[in-house]
Amino acid sequence: MLLPIPAPAPAPAPSRARARAPSPAAPPIRSGPARHRPLALGPGGGAGGAVVPSRARAGRVPIACCAPGRAAPLGLLAMDADDSRAPKGSLRKFLEHLSGAGKAIGVLTSGGDAQGMNAAVRAVVRMGIYVGAKVYFIYEGYQGMVDGGSNIAEADWESVSSILQVGGTIIGSARCQAFRTREGRLKAACNLLQRGITNLCVIGGDGSLTGANIFRKEWSGLLEELARNGQIDKEAVQKYAYLNVVGMVGSIDNDFCGTDMTIGTDSALHRIIEVVDAIMTTAQSHQRTFVLEVMGRHCGYLALVSALACGADWVFLPESPPEEGWEEQMCVKLSENRARKKRLNIIIVAEGAIDTQNKPITSEKIKELVVTQLGYDTRVTILGHVQRGGTPSAFDRILASRMGVEAVIALLEATPDTPACVVSLNGNHAVRLPLMECVQMTQDVQKAMDERRFQDAVRLRGRSFAGNLNTYKRLAIKLPDDQIPKTNCNVAVINVGAPAAGMNAAVRSAVRVGIADGHRMLAIYDGFDGFAKGQIKEIGWTDVGGWTGQGGSILGTKRVLPGKYLEEIATQMRTHSINALLIIGGFEAYKSACDMAEARGRHQELCIPLCVVPATISNNVPGTEISLGSDTGLNAVVETCDRIKQSASGTKRRVFIIETMGGYCGYLANMGGLAAGADAAYIFEEPFDIRDLQSNVEHLTEKMKTTIQRGLVLRNESCSENYTTDFIYQLYSEEGKGVFDCRKNVLGHMQQGGAPSPFDRNFGTKISARAMEWITVKLKEARGRGKKFTTDDSVCVLGISKRNVIFQPVAELKKQTDFEHRIPKEQWWLKLRPLMKILAKYKASYDVSDSGQLEHVQPWSV
């Protein structure tokens, strides 16, 4: 396991006043001396010096001394709750302790293209150059490596500019038969040696990564053969004695075991859901059934998650074929849905779907069955390569950027004995896994399907896949009422705070899981204001049909807290016999749970299980690293930044100042900056002053001398009381006069609107289902005993923490909360802030203490 090393807790500052480090500022890499830089590297600014926090804010951990625990040198959906395994007193390790001087790194993309590959290439190139290594493009994958010549070219900083938002891969990808032969690999080795390349970063699928591992194993033998042939001398054999290989998985199918998400998967889901949303409107108009075929010859992930995200009536997967007699069961299900006045049916089919006898189930076969048996007007839509195209999502850009940085660090730390590894995503945590262990498990999945061991296939896919499948089955098929044992418990659902995309998906999931568990589900309209007024109604299975893809809050939501209405709320809870409450919302939801827990002594009606599902674009709720709605908000920021940057392509020499939402939480500004390739992002968590602003202006002035003649600066809406968006705009305009001009844009509430992203639909569905399972367990504990819930563990926030989805009592979370500014005291994404700066060509101190050890792939057990 990677060993995170705890940092000493900094002494809190007496106020919000800034404490400045004595060390001089380090300039951007390109520019001349600057007055200040965002992160101090130590006395004299040199690499290897002690880390000196540039400033401290009261009650906050300085960024250069981030809180203990891995914040994944990775970026969009199992996690260890404890990071205390590091030896006490160990020194932290920083990027400046590593050097790439004398190293040459080759980066190639191979196999099918995937959105986000360019972001990975950009990160590898820029991080490699940053640490002093030479980085080479290998065009057209392994074919370019075999052909050599101009197919292997040195990359510079500007050669990867403006590619973050571009789909596909700018360095090309091709299938290569020659590399499958030893003769081809011999040519490839010779071509690499001509440029001194002994470090390979391969972005592709399992076939591409397997080829890289074979190449690595044969390397010493290939060198000896080249020496015997007189193509290299013995000195070269010794100098380039070993090859290091690090892989990143680029595949829209998400078919590689060992990682929760591969590069391109989230973007492919965006394409699918865009089509599904469009089709649903026409299907509803004409009462049609649509059969959608999505990619996934050997993996049903895209089909499964898109079915979850749109509430499809039926889904066909290669890993989990339908039971015998599925034809009749499916027709019954479709007709039952129509009988409930549903005007359309959606069936999603993976292109590799099979039955239990391993015979293909095609979309045309399904259409023919529906038309013959039910007489419904049925159409087939095959999405095809549309799923590979288009702009990468914010999740894929961040994921690929983090993976690219981690890949370079892995190559810097590699030794002759280091096996080929793949950088993977586990929950929200970056891990390195032995490449061939992942490949072997991926092949084991196909073997299990071939041998019709379908339960094993699902298990080998991992807990994320299995969890998605179980959730879909629970939500898609309702048992007859007489087959559901009743609990005689009433569970209420309420939305609180500002609207966030995915709230409706969460409500739908909670209602259906609650009904399946035998509860009577109650919907509370218009937040706690409506609760106090008795706006409470029973809500049924069909009432929430079609809610998954709708933005905003159908139940209605307000920022009103329960404090002044506690008496009325307690009365309503008594009147409606509410036994448990699910609160879906942002910081107001969390604060409401805190207030209701404190009021239990005065109102016994509040002595029930209370669960908070965090839902806010600001991502500022303690107890979770990701809040429902933040992915949709982030995509809105990034899409707008893309359009704004494009508008500058003709005018040149223009800098855009963009204000994002988030209150005092800088998540949207920081992560939006990383995903959009911003030059700077101003946030509340990292104090800044006029010298920082001046440094950024100087940086942009130097940038305008290059071929990249545009700039992008993001500002969190509450990052500073005095350095407002207008002030920064006017300062940049004045200081940049004659060099660049400025424009400003306040994104406003467009970040809260729109349809939920696939991530938020899926996340809302799954996390809300988990919340209801927790509530059901709590209610079972009290059944027949009239138990009152008074302990801290009966009022919890459900969230993601490193590698686990966990419930944390609000009583414990209070200690971790800055209530004045409505943010957690420690935030994982601050660890990624140096990455944005490094990739924008600033010097920054980046903690890599958690890197360095390979983990092993562990099959998930049911």
Residue 133: strand, helix, or coil: coil
Asked whether this chain's domains 265-388 and 484-612+761-816+826-833 adopt the same fold, the reply is: yes
Number of other residues whose CB lies within 10 A of the CB of residue 500: 32
- The HSE-up count of residue 246 (CA atoms within 13 Å, CB side) is 28
For 370-421, give the secondary structure using H, E and C.
HHHHHCCCEEEEECHHHHHCCCCCHHHHHHHHHHHHHHHHHHHHCCCCCCCE
Report the interhelical angle of 301-310 vs 463-476 (nearest 10°): 40
The CATH number, out of the four listed (1.10.1060.10, 3.40.50.450, 3.30.360.10, 3.40.50.1820), of the domain defined by the range 95-261+392-443? 3.40.50.450
Separation in Å, CA 749 to CA 52, 495, 618, 714: 38, 18, 12, 16
Report the distance separating Cα 773 and Cα 611, nearest Å: 11
Nearest to 583 by CA among 496, 707, 684, 501: 496
pLDDT at 860: 58
Cβ atoms of 129 and 157 closer than 8 Å: yes
Report the distance separating Cα 341 and Cα 221, nearest Å: 69
DSSP state of 94: B
CATH hierarchy code of domain 630-752: 3.40.50.460
Structure tokens, 330: 């499916």
Pairing of strands 795-801, 610-614: parallel
Taking only the tens place, the pLDDT of each residue in 313-344 is 999 999 999 999 999 999 999 998 888 878 88
For 276-329, give the secondary structure using H, E and C.
HHHHHHHHHHHCCEEEEEECCCCCCHHHHHHHHHHCCCEEECCCCCCCCCHHHH
Structure tokens, 778: 């709590």
Number of other residues whose CB lies within 10 A of the CB of residue 194: 14
Element (H, E) at 246: strand 244-249
Binding site feature residues for ATP: 112, 175-176, 205-208
Binding site feature residues for beta-D-fructose 2,6-bisphosphate: 559, 616-620, 654, 661-663, 717, 743, 749-752, 822
The torsion angle over the Cα atoms of residues 574, 576, 577 and 582, rounded to 10 degrees, is -100
Separation in Å, CA 665 to CA 356, 550, 818, 847, 860: 50, 26, 11, 22, 35
Report the distance separating Cα 282 and Cα 289, nearest Å: 10
Cβ atoms of 39 and 834 closer than 8 Å: yes
Q: Which residues contact 352 (CB under 8 A, 6 or more apart)?
A: 296, 297, 298, 299, 300, 318, 360
pLDDT at 42: 30
Cβ atoms of 642 and 653 closer than 8 Å: no
Cβ atoms of 178 and 159 closer than 8 Å: no
Structure tokens, 22: 């004595």
Residue with tokens 């392994």: 142
Residue with tokens 């932290």: 92
pLDDT at 18: 37
Residue 2: strand, helix, or coil: coil
Report the distance separating Cα 624 and Cα 667, nearest Å: 13
Binding site feature residues for substrate: 251-253, 288, 295-297, 351, 379, 385-388
Cβ atoms of 166 and 715 closer than 8 Å: no
Residue 533 falls in which region: left (phi positive, over 0), alpha (psi -120 to 50) or beta: alpha
Binding site feature residues: 112, 175-176, 205-208, 251-253, 288, 295-297, 351, 379, 385-388, 559, 616-620, 654, 661-663, 717, 743, 749-752, 822
Backbone angles phi, psi at 175, to 5 degrees: -75, 140
Residue with tokens 């005095």: 722
Structure tokens, 37: 């830089």
Question: Is the C-alpha dihedral spanning 359, 363, 367, 370 positive or negative?
Answer: positive
Nearest to 311 by CA among 284, 341, 278, 273: 273
Instruction: Indicate the residue type of 768.
Output: S
pLDDT at 832: 92
For 451-483, give the secondary structure using H, E and C.
CCCHHHHHHHHCHHHHHHHHHHHHHHCCCCHHH
Instruction: Indicate the residue type of 678.
Output: A
Q: Which residues contact 384 (CB under 8 A, 6 or more apart)?
A: 295
Structure tokens, 155: 């990359």
- Residues serving a catalytic function are 253
Query: Between vectors from CA 176 to CA 175 and to CA 180, what angle results, nearest 5°?
Result: 130
Q: What global pTM score does this model have?
A: 0.88
pLDDT at 585: 97
Residue with tokens 């095959």: 382
Query: Between vectors from CA 404 to CA 398 and to CA 405, what angle results, nearest 5°?
Result: 95
Residue 801: strand, helix, or coil: strand
Structure tokens, 252: 């829209």
Assigned architecture for domain 265-388: 3-Layer(aba) Sandwich (3.40)
Structure tokens, 138: 């290998």
Residue 523 falls in which region: left (phi positive, over 0), alpha (psi -120 to 50) or beta: beta
Residue 614: strand, helix, or coil: strand
Residue with tokens 């996340």: 763
Question: Can you give the residue ranges of every domain in the chain?
Answer: 95-261+392-443, 265-388, 484-612+761-816+826-833, 630-752
Report the distance separating Cα 490 and Cα 538, nearest Å: 9
Residues of the chain where predicted confidence (pLDDT) is lower than 50: 1-89, 862
Q: Tally helices (H) and strands (E) across the chain.
A: 24, 24
Report the distance separating Cα 507 and Cα 547, nearest Å: 8
Element (H, E) at 350: strand 345-350
Report the distance separating Cα 278 and Cα 423, nearest Å: 36
First to last CA, the chain: 23
- The HSE-up count of residue 604 (CA atoms within 13 Å, CB side) is 3
Nearest to 762 by CA among 414, 309, 353: 309
* DSSP symbols for 789-828: --SGGGEEEEEEETTEEEEEEHHHHGGGEETTTTEESS-G
Nearest to 775 by CA among 514, 484, 512: 514
pLDDT at 698: 94
Cβ atoms of 818 and 590 closer than 8 Å: no
The CATH number, out of the four listed (3.40.50.450, 3.30.1360.40, 3.30.930.10, 3.40.50.720), of the domain defined by the range 484-612+761-816+826-833? 3.40.50.450
Separation in Å, CA 824 to CA 348, 533, 816: 40, 32, 6
